[in-house]
């Protein structure tokens, strides 16, 4: 709106206001040198005014300003969540594991035990743990937690037999904006489909959802949810969605909440590499990253996984010169998903 308010334009306007006769106003004169810094400061002020206009509208707002726009419609940004899981301590029978014991992964991600326990006659005991810092960094695979930080007499080692999960980085601007626009553009009233969609998206860890009204007759509703990483959510998150909706739903509604059904996309292709290409494993990693980005954009937006788009991913990979014999899930045609399915990366086989 204020793009024309440049230093040059503003300086010309200021110089034009000096109407005294016989006063020199060209560059290097006293009047020019006095008014030039003022024009520069005014230019900066107009730039800030443009920013004020942008943050006043939801689609161009960000950060705490977007929080304020969302708050006007009763929406709060979903906070970060700490990952949780179970670890198993090995040691002498009867060794004490106090609540608050700190364990860690080899790269320093730390967890605190959430309950006290004693090592059983079998020489092991399992206790729940929670990451000390909230965020997805606490979601680690099995066998990664292997270091005891707190001194524990009689305890020899620790390990996690299963992955930790539930860690969430907090709602980014893009997802908060999506929820805000959905609420404004699709008003939710009296437990309609839009209402169930909003309730599902209010739960941390949920990135998208689909609502199927009357899916098994009158009074029945099914909500299929998708995690923020475009995979099926953990069972704990699905349970949170179910519990949250249960407190909000109209009386008499029979509600079912389920995670999206994952459909792996396996790719097999013969490729020619550029002379500068690295190892095959490095090229595969690059292709897998491109595949993930493509499938993330599709999730709950488009039911067709297009083989031509897979070809584009290959050609957009800098190390790939050309390809041949491309197959997706053993076929050379598109993959069509069901309404409650989501495509996820399977294997990438390079011939």
Q: What is the pLDDT of residues 285-334, one digit of tens each?
A: 999 999 999 999 999 999 999 999 999 999 999 889 999 999 999 999 99
Q: What is the pLDDT of residues 132-189, one digit of tens each?
A: 999 999 999 999 999 999 999 999 999 999 999 889 899 999 999 988 998 888 877 7
Q: Give the model's pLDDT for residue 241.
A: 95
Q: What is the pLDDT of residues 78-131, one digit of tens each?
A: 999 999 999 999 999 999 999 999 999 999 999 999 999 999 999 999 999 999
Nearest Cα residue to 295 out of 204, 226, 244: 226
Q: What is the pLDDT of residues 22-81, one digit of tens each?
A: 888 888 888 888 889 998 998 889 888 888 888 989 999 999 999 999 999 989 999 999
Average pLDDT score over the chain? 91
Nearest Cα residue to 204 out of 247, 246, 170, 234: 170
In terms of residues, how long is the chain? Answer: 351
Q: Give the model's pLDDT for residue 349.
A: 92
Q: Give the model's pLDDT for residue 279.
A: 86
Q: Give the model's pLDDT for residue 7.
A: 84
Q: What is the pLDDT of residues 245-272, one digit of tens each?
A: 998 888 888 999 999 999 999 999 999 8
Hey, CA dihedral for 232, 233, 235, 239, is it positive or negative?
Answer: negative
pLDDT bucket at 19, cuts 50 / 70 / 90:
confident
Query: Which tokens in the block code for residue 38?
Result: 């003022």
Question: What phi and psi values does residue 15 have, to the nearest 5 degrees?
Answer: -65, -35
Query: Which tokens in the block code for residue 236?
Result: 């704990």
- Whether the CB-CB separation of 291 and 305 falls below 8 Å is answered with no
- Whether the CB-CB separation of 112 and 101 falls below 8 Å is answered with yes
Q: Which CATH number applies to 186-259: 3.40.50.920, 3.30.70.20, 3.20.80.10, 3.30.300.30?
A: 3.30.300.30
Q: Give the model's pLDDT for residue 166.
A: 86
Q: Give the model's pLDDT for residue 46.
A: 85
Q: Which residues pair with 350 in a beta bridge?
A: 269
């Amino acid at each position: 709106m204020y793009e024309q308010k440049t230093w040059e334009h503003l300086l010309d306007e200021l110089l034009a206001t000096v109407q005294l006769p016989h006063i020199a106003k060209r560059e290097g004169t006293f009047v020019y040198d006095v008014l030039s810094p003022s024009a520069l400061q005014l230019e900066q002020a107009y730039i800030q005014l443009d920013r004020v206009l942008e943050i006043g509208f939801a689609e161009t707002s960000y950060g705490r300003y977007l929080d304020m726009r969302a708050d006007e419609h009763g929406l709060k940004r979903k906070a970060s969540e700490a990952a949780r899981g179970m670890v198993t301590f090995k040691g002498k029978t009867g060794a004490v594991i106090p609540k608050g014991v700190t364990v860690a992964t080899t790269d320093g991600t730390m967890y605190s035990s959430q309950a006290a326990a004693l090592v059983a006659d079998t020489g092991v005991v399992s206790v729940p743990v929670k990451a000390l810092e909230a965020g997805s960094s606490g979601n680690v695979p099995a066998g990664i937690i292997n270091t005891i930080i707190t001194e524990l007499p009689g305890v020899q080692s620790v390990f996690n037999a299963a992955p930790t999960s539930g860690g969430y980085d907090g709602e980014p601007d893009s997802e908060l904006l999506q929820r805000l626009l959905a609420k404004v553009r699709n008003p939710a009233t009296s437990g309609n489909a839009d209402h169930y969609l909003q309730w599902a998206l209010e739960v941390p860890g949920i990135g998208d959802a689909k609502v199927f009204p009357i899916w098994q007759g009158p009074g029945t509703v099914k909500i299929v949810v998708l995690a923020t990483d475009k995979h099926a959510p953990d069972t704990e998150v699905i349970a949170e969605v179910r519990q949250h909706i249960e407190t909000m739903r109209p009386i008499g509604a029979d509600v079912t909440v389920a995670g999206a059904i994952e459909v792996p996309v396996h790719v097999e292709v013969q490729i020619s590499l550029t002379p500068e290409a690295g190892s095959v494993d490095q090229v595969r990693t690059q292709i897998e990253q491109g595949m993930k980005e493509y499938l993330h954009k599709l999730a709950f937006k488009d039911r067709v996984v297009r083989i031509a788009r897979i070809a584009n991913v290959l050609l957009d990979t800098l190390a790939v010169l050309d390809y041949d014999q491309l197959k997706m899930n053993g076929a050379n045609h598109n993959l069509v998903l069901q309404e409650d399915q989501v495509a996820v990366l399977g294997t990438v086989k390079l011939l």
